[in-house]
Amino acid sequence: MSTKIYLTDTDDIIDIRYDNVFKAVFTKETPASKGALSKLVSALIGREVSIITITANEPPIDNLQDRQLRFDINCRAENDERINVEMSFNPTPFEPVRLEYHTGKLFIGQDISGIGKTYKNLKETYQITILAKQRFFPDEVFYHSFEYYDPENRISLNGRTRIITLELAKAEKFADKPTDEMSFSEEWAFFFEYLTDRSKRSKINEILEQEEGIALASEVLMTITKDDIEQARLLSELKYELDTKSRIMYAEQQAEKKGEQKIINLLKSGKSPQEIIESYS
């Protein structure tokens, strides 16, 4: 890290939980950005990982005005493991099946058709989703790692795909824990959730002192804040285009199941799909 990062109570820090800002921080072609991404992935996978290439489906962001749609950070580690990382600011009711879908696509995207290649050449694949704003799963656990297994006999398939979720809304459960007792995943969750909370700046600075990856992410974030804070203040209207379509389909399916034509009429009148889902779920 080139400079020591220290945040004051007066620093106006942009919210890294917006996925356009998240993407900008972790996909710049700089040692700090790539180092931060490697440390984040390592913390959530549970072992040291070095990100070698980022194969995202759009160029890295230097101007946040260019950030319109929701894209994930698709990257590969040094041993060719596939890893997809995203910040989901507004997770939807169909989030689990969405994660399963994208994990499957990432896994089968590997080419084993060449001479001498078999299924054993398939690399581990990780879908990492950081869920912001509200609680998603019904328990009190903020970190989940999902794999294929037989639930009745509790036997793992020992497959090579994992879905990892981090629920920031549950960070309050360990918010009072001393920083030197926090796990790496707890430190990252605290950082994402409370970075813009001035009352937590002292604790954030303690984490910056002891976790290099978070300090690197903050270093990159500070450069973004200076140039793009106004552009990134709100999400674009086109953001989450695919998810919005799915919300509408979900609401229509709920309407068909319940036989309530008025839900469809509300959709046509301009009501938010999420408002309708919450009213009838």
- The separation between the first and the last C-alpha atoms of the chain, rounded to the nearest angstrom, is 48
Residue with tokens 């303690």: 206
What pLDDT, on a 0 to 100 scale, did the predictor assign at position 64?
45
**Alpha-carbon distance 63 to 228, whole Å?**
7
CB 70 within 8 A of CB 241: yes
Residue spans of the domains in the chain: they are: 19-239, 240-281
Strand ranges of the sheet holding 161-167, from the earlier edge strand across to the other edge? 51-54, 73-77, 82-88, 125-131, 161-167, 143-146
What pLDDT, on a 0 to 100 scale, did the predictor assign at position 5?
84
Query: CB within 8 A of 265, min separation 6: which ones?
Result: none
Taking each continuous run of H as one helix and of E as one strand, the counts in the chain are: 9, 8
Task: Retrieve residue 82's tokens.
Answer: 């596939």
Enter the pTM of the model. 0.76
What pLDDT, on a 0 to 100 scale, did the predictor assign at position 60?
46
pLDDT (tens digit, 0 to 9) for every residue of the chain, 281 residues total? 455 788 888 888 888 988 778 888 898 888 999 999 999 999 999 999 999 888 655 544 454 444 434 457 888 898 889 999 998 877 778 889 999 999 999 999 898 888 888 999 999 999 999 998 888 899 999 999 999 999 999 999 999 999 999 999 999 999 999 999 999 999 999 999 999 999 999 999 999 999 999 999 999 998 876 555 444 443 443 344 555 666 677 777 766 766 566 666 766 677 676 676 666 65
What pLDDT, on a 0 to 100 scale, did the predictor assign at position 32?
93
